[in-house]
């Protein structure tokens, strides 16, 4: 069974290893699984680099382990500058960058922003994914949010009396 990588990133992901099955003299069926019927398409042979029979898959970069849950010591409605030390693999370009964070109600998660004015919200992540919390020397920007009990009670819209209608029940028989 042949295995190889696609050298044309326009048709298949580059660097990913596929199982290759001959399809005539100048084509391969490419499959992620060792079964010809599960192929993703039929492609020209020159689009693939065939791996030698004994060669294993290249080693992937080890993803850092999940950080332990720890107390961060942050307070509500305070703005901190902190460095992101862990994120999902799909967003690995954010690791190591410094963000402005504000704790959520439970203190286990934080909202994180790129700018100190807190204009553009990037998202919400777990607080222990950040390190080196530094309190930003400014007035707390986050004000007390309006809760449900603070809101005005709305008038019930169905208080008006029913109007009589001129409909009559019909019988089937």
- For the residues of 44-66, what is the DSSP string, one character each? EGGGEEEPPTTPPPPPPPPPPPP
Are 83 and 125 part of one and the same domain?
yes
Count CA atoms closer than 13 A to 133's CA, side-chain side: 19
Distance, CA of 76 to CA of 80 (rounded, Å)? 10
Bridge partner residues of 27 (DSSP):
44
For the chain, 173 residues long, give each residue's pLDDT as a single digit of tens: 788 888 888 888 877 888 888 888 889 898 888 888 888 888 888 888 888 876 555 555 666 777 788 888 888 888 999 998 888 766 778 888 999 999 887 788 899 998 888 888 888 888 888 988 998 876 545 555 455 555 555 555 566 666 777 777 788 87
**Do 135 and 90 belong to one domain?**
yes
Domain that holds residue 127: 79-140
Q: Is residue 167 part of a domain?
A: no
Q: Give the whole-angstrom CA distance, residue 99 versus residue 130.
A: 9
Please check whether residues 40 and 85 belong to one and the same domain. no
In the chain, the number of structural domains is 2
- Comparing CA positions, the residue from 171, 161, 92 lying closest to residue 129 is 92
* In a domain? residue 156: no
Which pLDDT score is estimated for 58? 55
Domain-located, residue 151: no
Predicted model pTM: 0.47
Residue 101 within a domain: yes
Q: Is residue 99 part of a domain?
A: yes
pLDDT of residue 140: 45
Q: What is the pLDDT of residue 85?
A: 87
> Alpha-carbon torsion 59, 130, 67, 91, what sign?
negative
Quick check: is 152 in a domain? Answer: no
Torsion sign, CA atoms 124, 126, 131, 134 = positive
| 68 occurs within a structural domain | no
- Tell whether 86 and 134 lie within a shared domain: yes
């Amino acid at each position: 069974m042949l295995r190889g990588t696609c050298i044309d990133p326009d048709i298949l992901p580059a660097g990913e290893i596929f199982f290759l099955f001959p399809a005539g003299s100048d084509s391969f069926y490419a499959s992620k699984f060792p079964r010809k019927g599960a192929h993703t398409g039929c492609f020209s042979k020159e689009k693939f680099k065939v791996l030698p029979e004994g060669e294993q898959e290249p080693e992937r970069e080890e993803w850092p382990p999940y950080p332990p849950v720890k107390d961060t010591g942050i307070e509500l409605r305070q703005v901190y500058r902190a460095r992101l030390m862990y994120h999902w693999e799909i967003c690995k370009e954010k690791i190591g960058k410094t963000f402005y964070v504000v704790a959520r109600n439970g203190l286990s998660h934080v909202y994180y922003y790129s700018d100190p004015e807190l204009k553009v919200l990037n998202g919400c992540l777990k607080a222990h994914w950040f390190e080196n919390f530094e309190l930003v020397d400014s007035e707390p920007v986050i004000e007390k949010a309006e809760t449900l009990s603070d809101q005005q009670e709305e008038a019930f819209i169905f208080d008006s009396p029913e109007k009589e209608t001129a409909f009559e029940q019909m019988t089937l028989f």
